[in-house]
């Protein structure tokens, strides 16, 4: 938990009492807790990010998988002993209380580690490529940070749907990583003008859709390599918030720009269950590669944040209670 905003060192391991279960709630014994960049925003107190301000102290985390250990009144499903995943607060913990209706049963073919590392990323990828801008044959997608935790999912899922996938990365080594995860072409944005290269690769047309998890350093140039009536999806801000920009920049090509967040795409329980089902089917596919960057004990949550901020690994980090 944290008792003040700041760097990784404000994370402390403490014991606290859990409240009795209320009607409709379940107690989850966490087995694998995911670490996401949104956790860093919350730790730093950046409320321009996906999480609003909360009173201190804050138990960190927003995603985990585990075992249903106890259920409250009026809960018939999932049963005690079921393996489940969830998107919800206070997941950096041995146990978390969640509404039973917001728990996603895990298929046997999916390990705790993969589900814990990829649940939030997988659900994000699902709405990005299947619902917000459905990919398929004849579509060309540009993905920024193609060798990162989200990028390797988007590349594989887009390729599986039949789209042409182009990725930008920050080094020649990461170009090879991107190609190995489904990208037809990779661009090193530190040595090439990625917008000019995308226009070259698309014969001057531009990409149909751009998935931008970088934000400030990539957004403006993305407008130069999207096709007329194409969509630029700013779903993350690893380099900082995009900030204000002139809306007239969209005018000449009728560009569509959107800034979505996962919670609005899984707010409806039925939509959420359908999205989770599609995500688990994708993650459990033997042709899909889901590497884990690091597995650390819960007590080393600060180290997990340092590794994520320092981009030490290109794959998800897991905390094990």
Equal CATH topology for 8-119+264-320 and 137-259: no
Residue 199 confidence (pLDDT): 98
Distance in angstroms (rounded) separating the CA atoms of residues 300 and 232: 37
Give the pLDDT confidence score for residue 51 in this predicted structure: 60
pLDDT attached to residue 49:
57
Q: Rounded distance, CA 315 to CA 294, Å?
A: 8
pTM of the model: 0.89
What residues of the chain score a pLDDT lower than 70? Answer: 47-52, 239, 314
Query: How do residues 270-301 score in pLDDT, each as one tens digit?
Result: 899 999 999 999 999 999 999 999 999 999 99
- The topology under which CATH files domain 8-119+264-320 is Quinone Oxidoreductase; Chain A, domain 1 (3.90.180)
Classify domain 137-259 at the CATH topology level. Rossmann fold (3.40.50)
Residue of 87, 83, 107 whose CA lies nearest to 36: 87
Q: How many residues does the chain have?
A: 321
Give the per-residue pLDDT at 34.
Answer: 96
Question: 128 with 147: CB under 8 angstroms?
Answer: no
pLDDT value at position 312?
76
Residue the block writes with tokens 């409320």: 47
Which one, of 165, 178, 252, 246, lies nearest residue 209 by Cα?
165
Please write the tens of the pLDDT for every residue from 175-208: 999 999 999 999 999 999 999 999 999 999 999 9
Q: Which residues contact 308 (CB under 8 A, 6 or more apart)?
A: 35, 37, 40, 317
Both tokens of 303, joined, read: 């180290």
Residue boundaries of the structural domains of the chain: 8-119+264-320, 137-259
Strand partners, 68: 28
Phi and psi at 167, nearest 5°, equal: -125, 145
What mean pLDDT, rounded, does the chain reach? 93
């Amino acid at each position: 938990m944290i008792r003040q905003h700041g760097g990784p060192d404000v994370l402390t391991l403490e014991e606290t009492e859990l409240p009795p279960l209320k009607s409709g709630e379940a107690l989850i014994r966490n087995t694998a807790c995911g670490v996401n960049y949104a956790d860093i925003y919350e730790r730093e107190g950046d409320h321009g990010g996906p999480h609003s301000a909360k009173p201190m102290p804050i138990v960190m985390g927003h995603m985990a998988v585990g075992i249903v250990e106890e259920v409250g009144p009026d809960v018939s499903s999932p049963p005690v002993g079921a393996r489940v995943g969830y998107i919800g607060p206070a997941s950096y913990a041995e146990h978390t209380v969640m509404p039973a209706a917001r728990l996603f049963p895990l298929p046997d073919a999916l390990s705790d580690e993969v589900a814990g590392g990829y649940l939030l990323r997988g659900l994000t990828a699902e709405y990005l490529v299947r619902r917000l801008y459905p990919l398929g044959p004849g579509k060309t997608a540009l993905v920024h940070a193609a060798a990162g935790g989200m990028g390797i999912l988007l590349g594989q899922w887009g390729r599986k749907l039949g789209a042409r996938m182009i990725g930008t990365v920050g080094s020649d080594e990461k170009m090879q990583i991107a190609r190995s995860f489904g990208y037809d072409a990779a661009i090193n944005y530190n040595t090439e003008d990625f917008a000019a290269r995308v226009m070259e690769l698309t014969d001057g047309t531009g990409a149909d859709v751009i998935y931008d998890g970088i934000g400030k350093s990539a957004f403006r140039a993305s407008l130069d390599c999207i096709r007329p009536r194409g969509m630029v999806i700013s779903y993350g801000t690893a380099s900082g918030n995009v900030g204000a920009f002139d809306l007239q920049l969209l005018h000449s090509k009728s560009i569509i720009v959107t800034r979505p967040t996962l919670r609005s795409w899984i707010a409806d329980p039925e939509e959420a269950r359908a999205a989770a089902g599609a995500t688990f089917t994708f993650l459990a596919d033997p042709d899909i590669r889901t590497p884990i960057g690091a597995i650390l004990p819960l007590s080393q949550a600060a180290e997990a944040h340092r590794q994520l901020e320092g981009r030490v690994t290109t794959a998800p980090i897991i905390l094990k209670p």
